[in-house]
């Protein structure tokens, strides 16, 4: 069985966008919100009609993915949303009805719904909220050892607790309001996959939050409350700790730097360089811009596990004074 901290290099897809889309299909959510929201989890491959032949389907999307590359967003959240747009509007069993639906009242913007889609065999519209999150765990901080407030973004501006609170108390409930229902109604055209839903038909709510939780390299830490059992895991370490971490691996250790927005799928093997050589490039980026994500590949570990599949580890290397700020826990609600 694979270690939860290891990932396999995805197939033979040459386009990084195709690899990212394949990674999105295979990657579980990092968190499950407690009932009563949402009413369902992320769209499954079976629901999308992609239980088989994913590589062939991705190959047919090559031209559309090239167009996405030409409009590449530098913000990972925008890039992630565009991948979902491409997926839902081209999967065999789904169609995207609308995206980024602004909800306004008396010229005031109340918020925005990420996506509205439907499946081939069910006219009920589905409201999907998506987020891609990479959080690092703090062994000391707000709350107890399993508190979501101890899992913060690389920049220290957000936390898993704040994101979950915003989803539960604002983003997901918004689609049930009369104002949102009125905005949504204009997008419920039948298009090409079946009858339109009946008037005032309730929405199905879904949430997709793939990503990676990075555990501290220097000590053990439990997962946060609500984390899915099979969430993707990585490690994080201080810049000063890198030589010690590298020494625990073999002299053949290789590294590849992940440039945003492509923090999703591992890169092709050709992107990996000897770790010391790649670290000479990454170190100045950490000093200037803060935490950087890399992938590690150790050929000797592959030999020891008696497998020809290339096993890779995710690592975020942070400045020695990280974090410079830690978000406060979300406000308690009655």
Mean pLDDT of 258-273: 93
The verdict on 189 and 54 lying in the same domain is: yes
- pTM: predicted TM-score of the whole model, two decimal places: 0.91
Q: Are residues 243 and 199 in the same domain?
A: no
Give a three-class secondary structure readout of 202-248: CCEEEEECEEEEEEECCCCCCCCCCECCCCEEEEEEEHHHHHHHHHH
* 239 in a structural domain: yes
331 in any annotated domain: no
Last residue of a domain, one of 187, 210, 233: 210
Q: Are residues 61 and 171 in the same domain?
A: yes
Higher pLDDT, 161 or 196: 161
Q: Which helix (H) or strand (E) holds 126?
A: strand 122-130
DSSP state of 271: G
Same domain for 273 and 298?
yes
Q: What angle do CA 106, 197, 179 make, to 5 degrees?
A: 10
Which of 178, 210, 242 is where one domain is finished? 210
Does the residue 3 lie in any domain? no
Task: Let me know if residue 253 belongs to a domain.
Answer: yes
Predicted confidence at residue 263, as pLDDT, reads 95
181/226 same-domain check: no
Average pLDDT, stretch 175-189? 79
pLDDT score recorded for residue 308: 46
pLDDT of residue 72: 57
Residues 204/124, Cβ–Cβ less than 8 Å:
yes
Pair (150, 107) in one structural domain: yes
124 phi and psi angles, rounded to 5 deg? -65, 125
Average pLDDT, the chain: 87
Query: How does pLDDT run across 207-240, given as a tens digit for each residue?
Result: 999 999 999 999 999 999 999 999 999 999 999 9
Q: Is residue 38 domain-shared with residue 147, that is, in the same domain?
A: yes
50 and 181 both lie in a single domain: yes
Q: Among 188, 210, 232, where does a domain finish?
A: 210
* 177 within some domain: yes
Contacts of residue 253, defined as CB under 8 A and 6 or more positions apart, other chains included, come to 246, 274, 275, 296, 297, 298
Query: Do 145 and 58 sit in the same domain of this protein?
Result: yes
Domain count, the chain: 2
| Statement to judge: residues 134 and 61 lie in one domain | yes
Q: Look at residue 294 and tell me if it is in a domain.
A: yes
Tell which residue, 131, 211, 140, has the closest CA to residue 163.
Answer: 131
Name the residue range of residue 250's domain. Answer: 214-318
Residues 58 and 147 in one domain: yes
Residues 80 and 204 in one domain: yes
Q: What is the reported pLDDT for 316?
A: 98
């Amino acid at each position: 069985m694979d270690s939860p901290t290891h990932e396999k290099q995805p197939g033979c897809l040459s386009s990084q966008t195709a690899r990212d889309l394949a990674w999105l299909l295979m990657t579980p959510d990092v968190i499950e919100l407690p009932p009563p929201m949402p009413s369902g989890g992320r769209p499954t491959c079976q629901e999308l009609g992609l239980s088989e032949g994913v590589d062939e389907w991705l190959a047919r999307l090559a031209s559309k993915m090239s167009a996405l590359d030409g409009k590449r967003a530098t913000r990972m959240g925008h890039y992630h949303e565009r991948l979902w747009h491409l997926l839902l509007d081209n999967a065999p069993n789904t169609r995207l009805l609308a995206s980024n639906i602004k909800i306004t009242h008396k010229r005031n913007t109340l918020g925005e719904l990420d996506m509205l889609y439907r499946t081939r065999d069910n006219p009920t519209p589905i409201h999907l909220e998506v987020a891609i999150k990479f959080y690092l765990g703090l062994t000391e901080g707000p709350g107890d050892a399993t508190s979501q407030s101890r899992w913060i973004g690389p920049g220290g501006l957000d936390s898993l607790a704040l994101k979950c609170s915003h989803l539960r108390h604002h983003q997901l409930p918004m689609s049930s309001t009369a104002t949102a229902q009125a905005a949504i109604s204009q997008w419920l055209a039948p298009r090409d996959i079946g009858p339109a839903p009946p008037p005032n038909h309730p929405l199905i709510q879904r949430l997709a939050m793939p990503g990676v939780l990075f555990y501290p390299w220097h000590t053990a830490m439990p997962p946060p409350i609500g984390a899915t059992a099979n969430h993707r895991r990585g490690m994080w370490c201080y810049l000063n700790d890198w030589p010690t971490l590298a020494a625990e691996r073999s002299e053949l250790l290789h590294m590849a730097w992940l440039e945003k927005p492509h923090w999703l799928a591992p890169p092709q093997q050709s992107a990996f360089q000897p770790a010391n050589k790649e670290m000479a490039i990454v170190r100045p980026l950490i000093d200037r811009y803060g935490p950087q994500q890399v992938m590690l590949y150790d050929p000797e570990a592959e030999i020891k596990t008696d497998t020809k599949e290339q096993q890779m580890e995710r690592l975020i290397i942070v400045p020695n004074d990280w974090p410079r700020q830690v978000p406060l826990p979300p406000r308690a609600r009655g």
